[in-house]
């Protein structure tokens, strides 16, 4: 239920039961974004006669015996899988539950989740889950977490954030989740932990930061943010809230480090719209634009530019179709039904009258753009003279995949624009000057950089020191490390179990590093198999030793196969003469085959041994 007049709402758990939760109704209308460029969005009229005022943030009563544990379970070793637990006096709140996508080091893996074993082990303490915004790296592991939890836990987020989460839950067939809408300026009480939400500007609407108040101390978590003063939806980062929290006293500040290595300020999102408009206006054929499906501000600017140039907007790609539909129904994406069409309705529309919004900005093999580039898309073909815009920056590890798609498009004759050629993308994260500005406003006693790789965290730590934070009070942690806040200050605590969980098809957590190593070995060195029968009566080899090779140079050479079979037979007979057990026999076969292959072709493939007892 929406909170009225900023009255606190009780969370669920031992310290209070919530009776006021609901599901997000994505049919509900919201104020639509303005069509006119530069026009400020209209304000929704309030039914209440009371004048809205910023909530007065009252400091929580301190308990000299209380301790607050800050437990990052993800987000401190990579760009993604953000998850942090806050635990105090038997109450726990989980901040974000994200994932990250695999790279070349994870063959066959679909998704990578943070290991949330600690949350499951302490589920009786969990009073709620707060989500800062709707990006996958902050919401993606929620379906898996909820399936493993043995109880319902309220999930708090803004309207769009919950709309995207509900769409994700529908895919996983999760029903009856407690989704509770919050708004910037609102306060939620969960046990002894109070959460004050404040608006931040990011690359998706509805992003918030959170100010945690506990009997042990206060923590300010910025969430992902930038300081865009000309945002598409008119929502800027709430400097007033940051100043109020700073005046109250922030014992620990946790801040987004993604762009901590980037000097100066991050450009405004509005600059991308100007560039897109120019490119679309000059394009002769169809225009195809790949972007993150959750980048609603970018999608709005693409739609505005397309409509202004008399083109229809076509949406393709599963997540792009789903997110566009949700954002339109919730009023965050303004494009009329007459200007947006399905990819299957393209027949008869001239290419120069079309702008295609699609997935694939990271070069994903099964994405819409990759299929278009390979000529495998069901409804959209690329022709010479068409314009393709990749409106995103490759996530570290995806550069090769993106380059591969660009080369395929170029071979066909498409005119490809990416960030290196035109300002078709700006980041949604604060640069160094913005980070220093926020640090200067908040003036935290202690600082902990989050959301980044080791390079980003250390760069952000230096910025904090430059703005006056004592270096002894700057903590660079790894996932599973903990901080403890108390009346004595902030110090490191005992680490907890952490790590990563691989999602491989329907398997969650069953894929180990050993399995990935075997897959890598198969890809790099190939695979060989040995099969033979051993008589249980005589203890000798019966029949021939069969050797097969796949993906091995010279693996089809008859002489090599004969030599390999002979070497395996000799090694196996030697092991049998010593009375070796089955494990010893398999090892002898494996070593014999690998030895001869190394001598002959300098390769050590993965070897599978199948011994039959007869």
Instruction: Name the residue with higher pLDDT: 542 or 74.
Output: 74
Q: What is the pLDDT of residue 475?
A: 98
The mean pLDDT of 52-71, rounded to a whole number, is: 73
* CA 374-379-168 angle, 5° bins: 90
Distances (CA, A) of 20 to 10, 123, 181, 549, 614: 9, 21, 10, 63, 68
Q: If pLDDT is split at 50, 70 and 90, which confidence band does 520 have?
A: low
Strand order in the sheet with 126-130: 179-181, 155-157, 126-130, 91-95, 83-88, 68-74, 483-486, 489-492
Pick the most confident of 95-109, 477-491, 496-510. 477-491
* DSSP secondary structure code for residue 488 in this structure: T
Q: Which residues lie across from 546 on neighbouring strands?
A: 531
CB atoms near residue 605 (< 10 Å): 24
What would the pLDDT profile of 90-130 be if each residue is shown by its tens digit?
Answer: 999 999 999 987 765 655 566 889 999 999 999 999 999 99
Q: Residue 489: enclosing H or E segment and its boundaries?
A: strand 489-492
Pick the most confident of 391-405, 442-456, 516-530. 442-456
pTM score: 0.78
Q: What is the pLDDT of residue 384?
A: 94
- Taking the C-alpha atoms of residue 190 and residue 182, their distance in angstroms, rounded to an integer, is 14
* DSSP secondary structure code for residue 292 in this structure: -
Q: Are 221 and 207 in contact (CB under 8 A)?
A: no
DSSP codes joined into one string, 372-436: HHTT--SS----TT-EEEE-SPPPTT-HHHHHHHHHHHHHHT-EEE-TTTS-----SS--HHHHH
* CA 561-566-567 angle, 5° bins: 100
* Mean pLDDT lowest among 141-145, 284-288, 402-406, 592-596: 592-596
Q: Are 242 and 438 in contact (CB under 8 A)?
A: yes
- Residues whose CB is less than 8 angstroms from the CB of residue 287 and which lie 6 or more positions away in sequence, other chains included: 279, 280, 306, 311, 354, 355, 356, 386, 387, 388, 389
Q: If pLDDT is split at 50, 70 and 90, which confidence band does 439 have?
A: very high
Q: What is the pLDDT of residue 499?
A: 86
**Structure-block tokens of residue 41:** 């969005």
The mean pLDDT of 588-608, rounded to a whole number, is: 82
3-state secondary structure of 515: helix
* HEC readout, 133-186: CCCHHHHCCHHHHHHHCCCCCCEEECHHHHHHHHHHHHHCCCCCCCEEECCCCC
Residue matched to tokens 């000097």 = 263
Phi/psi of residue 395, each to 5°?
-65, 140
- Taking the C-alpha atoms of residue 225 and residue 208, their distance in angstroms, rounded to an integer, is 8
Distances (CA, A) of 280 to 152, 276, 361, 483: 48, 6, 18, 51
Torsion of CA 568, 569, 574, 577, to 10 degrees: 140
Instruction: Name the residue with higher pLDDT: 40 or 225.
Output: 225
- Taking the C-alpha atoms of residue 451 and residue 260, their distance in angstroms, rounded to an integer, is 10
Q: What is the pLDDT of residue 522?
A: 60
What would the pLDDT profile of 399-410 be if each residue is shown by its tens digit?
Answer: 888 999 999 999
Q: Are 585 and 506 in contact (CB under 8 A)?
A: no
Residue matched to tokens 């104020």 = 31
DSSP codes joined into one string, 423-436: -----SS--HHHHH
Q: What is the pLDDT of residue 153?
A: 96
* HEC readout, 448-459: EEECCCHHHHHH
User: Is residue 7 over pLDDT 50?
Assistant: no
The mean pLDDT of 419-427, rounded to a whole number, is: 94
* Mean pLDDT lowest among 70-74, 451-455, 539-543: 539-543
Q: Please state, rounded to an integer, the average pLDDT across all residues of the chain.
A: 85
- Taking the C-alpha atoms of residue 416 and residue 413, their distance in angstroms, rounded to an integer, is 9
CB atoms near residue 344 (< 10 Å): 10
User: Is residue 13 over pLDDT 90?
Assistant: no
* Mean pLDDT lowest among 37-46, 58-67, 328-337, 351-360: 37-46
* % of the chain with per-residue pLDDT over 70: 84
Q: How far apart are the first and last CA of the chain?
A: 70
Q: What is the pLDDT of residue 541?
A: 79
Q: Are 464 and 449 in contact (CB under 8 A)?
A: yes
Q: Are 38 and 187 in contact (CB under 8 A)?
A: no
Q: Which residues lie across from 254 on neighbouring strands?
A: 221, 448
Q: Residue 16: enclosing H or E segment and its boundaries?
A: none
The mean pLDDT of 277-291, rounded to a whole number, is: 96
- Taking the C-alpha atoms of residue 345 and residue 512, their distance in angstroms, rounded to an integer, is 45
- Taking the C-alpha atoms of residue 233 and residue 235, their distance in angstroms, rounded to an integer, is 6
Instruction: Name the residue with higher pLDDT: 369 or 8.
Output: 369
- Taking the C-alpha atoms of residue 138 and residue 224, their distance in angstroms, rounded to an integer, is 10
Q: If pLDDT is split at 50, 70 and 90, which confidence band does 61 have?
A: confident
The mean pLDDT of 179-206, rounded to a whole number, is: 96
- Residues whose CB is less than 8 angstroms from the CB of residue 323 and which lie 6 or more positions away in sequence, other chains included: 164, 167, 293, 294, 296
User: Is residue 484 over pLDDT 70?
Assistant: yes
Q: Residue 570: enclosing H or E segment and its boundaries?
A: helix 558-577
Report residue 243 CA to chain centroid gap.
30
CB atoms near residue 314 (< 10 Å): 24
Q: Residue 446: enclosing H or E segment and its boundaries?
A: strand 446-450
**Structure-block tokens of residue 198:** 């404040």
User: Is residue 325 over pLDDT 50?
Assistant: yes
Q: What is the pLDDT of residue 4?
A: 39
Q: What is the pLDDT of residue 104?
A: 59
Q: If pLDDT is split at 50, 70 and 90, which confidence band does 533 have?
A: confident
The mean pLDDT of 368-373, rounded to a whole number, is: 93
Q: Are 161 and 146 in contact (CB under 8 A)?
A: no
User: Is residue 34 over pLDDT 60?
Assistant: no
Q: Are 5 and 50 in contact (CB under 8 A)?
A: yes
DSSP codes joined into one string, 80-129: S--EEEEEETTEEEEE----B---TTSTT--EEEE--HHHHHTGGGEEEE
Q: Are 68 and 77 in contact (CB under 8 A)?
A: no
* Mean pLDDT lowest among 452-461, 503-512, 572-581: 503-512
């Amino acid at each position: 239920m929406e909170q009225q007049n900023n009255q606190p709402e009780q969370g669920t758990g031992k310290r209070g039961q919530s009776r006021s939760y609901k599901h997000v109704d994505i049919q509900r209308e919201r104020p639509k974004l303005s069509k006119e460029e530069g026009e400020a969005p209209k304000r929704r009229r309030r039914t209440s006669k009371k004048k809205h005022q910023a909530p007065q943030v009252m400091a929580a009563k301190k308990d000299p015996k209380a301790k607050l544990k800050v437990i990052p379970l993800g987000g401190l070793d990579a760009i993604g899988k953000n998850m942090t637990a806050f635990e105090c006096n038997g109450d726990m709140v989980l901040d974000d539950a994200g994932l990250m996508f695999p790279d070349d080091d994870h063959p066959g893996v679909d998704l990578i989740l943070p290991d949330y074993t600690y949350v499951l082990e302490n589920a009786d303490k969990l009073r709620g889950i707060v989500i800062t915004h709707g990006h996958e790296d902050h919401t993606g592991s929620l379906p898996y977490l909820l399936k493993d939890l043995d109880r319902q836990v309220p999930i708090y987020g803004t309207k769009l954030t919950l709309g995207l989460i509900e769409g994700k839950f529908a895919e996983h067939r999760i029903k009856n989740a407690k989704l509770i809408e919050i708004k910037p300026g609102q306060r939620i009480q969960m046990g002894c932990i109070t959460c004050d939400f404040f608006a931040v500007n990011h690359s998706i609407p509805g992003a918030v930061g959170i100010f945690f108040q506990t009997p042990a101390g206060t923590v300010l978590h910025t969430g992902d943010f930038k300081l865009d003063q000309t945002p598409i939806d008119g929502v800027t980062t709430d400097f007033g809230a940051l100043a109020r929290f700073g005046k109250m006293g922030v014992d620990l500040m946790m801040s987004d480090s993604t762009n901590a290595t980037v000097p100066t300020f991050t450009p405004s999102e509005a600059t991308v719209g100007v560039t897109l408009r120019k490119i679309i206006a000059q394009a002769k054929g169809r225009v195809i634009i790949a972007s993150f499906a959750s980048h609603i501000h970018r999608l709005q600017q693409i739609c505005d530019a397309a409509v202004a140039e008399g083109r229809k907007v076509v949406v393709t790609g599963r997540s792009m179709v789903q997110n566009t539909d949700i954002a339109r129904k919730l009023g965050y994406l303004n494009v009329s039904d007459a200007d947006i069409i399905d990819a299957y309705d393209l027949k008869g529309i001239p290419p120069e009258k079309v702008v295609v919004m699609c997935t694939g900005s990271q070069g994903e093999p099964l994405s819409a753009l990759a299929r278009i580039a390979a000529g495998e898309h069901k409804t959209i073909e690329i022709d010479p003279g068409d314009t393709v815009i990749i409106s995103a920056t490759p996530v570290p590890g995806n550069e090769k995949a993106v380059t591969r798609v660009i080369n395929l498009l170029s071979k066909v004759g498409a005119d490809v624009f990416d960030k290196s050629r035109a300002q078709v993308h700006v980041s949604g994260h604060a640069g160094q000057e913005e980070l220093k500005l926020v640090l200067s406003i908040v003036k935290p006693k202690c600082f902990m950089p989050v959301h980044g790789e080791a390079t980003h965290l250390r760069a952000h730590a230096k910025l904090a020191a430059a703005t006056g934070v004592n270096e002894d009070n700057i903590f660079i942690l790894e996932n599973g490390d903990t901080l403890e806040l108390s009346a004595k200050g902030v110090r490191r605590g005992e680490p907890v179990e952490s790590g990563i969980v691989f999602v491989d098809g329907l398997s969650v957590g069953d894929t180990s590093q050993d399995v990935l190593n075997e897959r890598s070995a198969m890809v790099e060195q190939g695979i060989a198999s040995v099969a033979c029968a051993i008589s249980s009566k005589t203890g000798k080899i019966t029949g021939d030793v069969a050797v097969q090779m796949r993906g091995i140079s010279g693996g089809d050479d008859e002489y090599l196969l004969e030599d390999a079979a002979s070497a395996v037979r000799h090694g196996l007979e030697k092991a049998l003469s010593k009375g070796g057990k089955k494990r010893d026999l398999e090892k002898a076969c494996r070593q014999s085959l690998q030895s001869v292959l190394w001598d002959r072709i300098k390769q050590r493939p993965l070897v599978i041994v199948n011994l039959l007892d007869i």
